[in-house]
Amino acid sequence: MKYKIHLLVLSTTLAAGNAFSANYAIEARGDAMGGVGVVAANYLTAPFYNPAIVAIYRRSDDAGMILPSVGLTYNDPDKLVKGIDNIADLINSNDLSKASELQAAMDNIDGSVLNANIGGVVAFGIPNRYISANIFGKAYVEAFAAPVIANTCSDPSEADSCTLEKAQKSTVNAVSVAVTEVGISLAKYQTVLGQHMSFGISPKLQRIYTYVYQASFTNYEFKDFLDEGTGETTFNIDAGALWFHGPYRLGLSASNLVSRDIQTRSIGNTQYEYQIRPQITLGAGIVADYFSLSVDYDLNTDKRYKDFADDTQMIRVGGEVDILRQLKLRAGYNKNLAYSHSEDTVTAGVGLSPLGLFQLDIGASYTNEKAMGAYVNFLASY
């Protein structure tokens, strides 16, 4: 028997801008196509988009692996890090003649929020005509940091000294959640009333860690954000369905069907709550041998931290053209509909497969000069 194994050796992302959309997955093909996957994924990436697609594969597909993929997003629109460092220098100078400069620096960062995320996935797929399976793992960290500017001092009549004291009493507050998932996607193709359909589920274990950090402007270190935390292990499940007729597809996926509320530990009066809620996404498109075009739409808003504006409700559009199995051209678009002021993101990429010896996927995304991304996958067949 001839075995064909797809090996995804590396998938990396460096980006600044929006947090990951609901699936938190990093995969260069999908990311180059705007993040679509509910109908456009393949049996290897299906656990991160729609588990029903685990049952959709070519006859030549015997097994496949995704080795650790990594993604990073970073959003500091108000230059919070630079602002805090500037304030720390002014505090350490202890120069009261710079009080007005110090006050202006605090005013500039008041209300600012820094958001950083990192994530990765692994998977091992075993397609077959009985029950296709994909064993997968996923991990991601989402962190927010914001300044808390003190508004009182011991002697308000001494304006310059009061400004310095307020700066010394001000803090950087940060909250992070780290989620690790391990599960198995099981999917089966069925004919229902003459219609071609597949159904899939992904039971999974989630290990959820939460962290809270607080430090003065002169003592904060972002590397200390994950030093102390609390964790809990829970069970969750994803599910999906796919209808197809020739190249036409319609899909529905639901992730995290079991809701969770996770309380962080308290530091003084500071405590946050992180929510895990079901996310329902509808997808539709055309997926042919040499061409695909699909749309994914989140039917509900994904709300996570109660105290930060990190809601997402994405619409994604993406397409791919396959030229003689040697070159694939991809493009896409996505937008967060949860906020009226959110900016559009455009994506593009190529897939190179010289003589079928290996495949290299390259992608990029652009929102603005502070929000860009780059993606790469390397695949080999044996």
| Residue 230 contacts residue 264 (beta carbons within 8 Å) | yes
| Residue 256 contacts residue 279 (beta carbons within 8 Å) | yes
Instruction: Quote the CA–CA distance of 326 and 321 in Å, as a whole number.
Output: 11
* Section 248-261 average pLDDT: 95
| Residue 5 contacts residue 379 (beta carbons within 8 Å) | no
Beta strands in the chain (DSSP E): 5-15, 63-75, 114-126, 132-148, 171-192, 195-216, 229-245, 248-255, 260-263, 273-276, 279-287, 291-298, 314-323, 327-336, 345-352, 358-368, 371-381
Output 127 or 368, whichever has higher pLDDT: 127
pLDDT of residue 325: 86
| Residue 11 contacts residue 69 (beta carbons within 8 Å) | yes
51: DSSP letter = G
Instruction: Quote the CA–CA distance of 311 and 313 in Å, as a whole number.
Output: 7
Give which of 238, 242, 251 is closest to 202, Cα–Cα: 238
Residue 125 has pLDDT above 50, yes or no: yes
Percent above pLDDT 70 for the chain: 90
Residue 16 has pLDDT above 70, yes or no: no
Let me know how long the chain is. Answer: 382
Of the listed ranges 37-41, 67-71, 87-91, 246-250, the least confidently predicted one is 67-71
* Section 14-35 average pLDDT: 67
| Residue 49 contacts residue 27 (beta carbons within 8 Å) | no
For residue range 310-334, list pLDDT tens digits in order.
788 999 999 999 998 899 999 999 9
pLDDT of residue 173: 85
State the chain's mean pLDDT as an integer: 85
Instruction: Quote the CA–CA distance of 29 and 147 in Å, as a whole number.
Output: 37
Range among 1-10, 106-115, 230-239 with highest mean pLDDT value: 230-239
Instruction: Quote the CA–CA distance of 302 and 318 in Å, as a whole number.
Output: 21
| Residue 122 contacts residue 140 (beta carbons within 8 Å) | no
Half-sphere exposure of 256 (CA within 13 A, CB side): 20
Output 240 or 84, whichever has higher pLDDT: 240
Instruction: Quote the CA–CA distance of 28 and 189 in Å, as a whole number.
Output: 27
**Domain-wise residue ranges, the chain:** 28-381
How far is residue 96 CA from its own chain's centroid?
44
Range among 135-144, 194-203, 341-350 with highest mean pLDDT value: 194-203
Checking DSSP bridges between strand 279-287 and strand 327-336, what pairing results, if any?
unpaired
Question: What class, spelled out in words, does domain 28-381 have in CATH?
Answer: mainly beta
Q: Cα torsion at 24, 29, 31, 34 (round to 10°)?
A: -120
How confident is residue 23, by pLDDT bands cut at 50, 70 and 90? Answer: low
pLDDT of residue 295: 98
Token look-up 């193709």 returns 189
pTM for the predicted model, two decimal places: 0.84
How confident is residue 249, by pLDDT bands cut at 50, 70 and 90? Answer: very high
pLDDT of residue 320: 97
| Residue 75 contacts residue 18 (beta carbons within 8 Å) | yes
Of the listed ranges 47-61, 117-131, 337-351, the least confidently predicted one is 117-131
Token look-up 């729609």 returns 50
Kindly report the number of other CB atoms within 10 A of residue 315's CB atom: 15
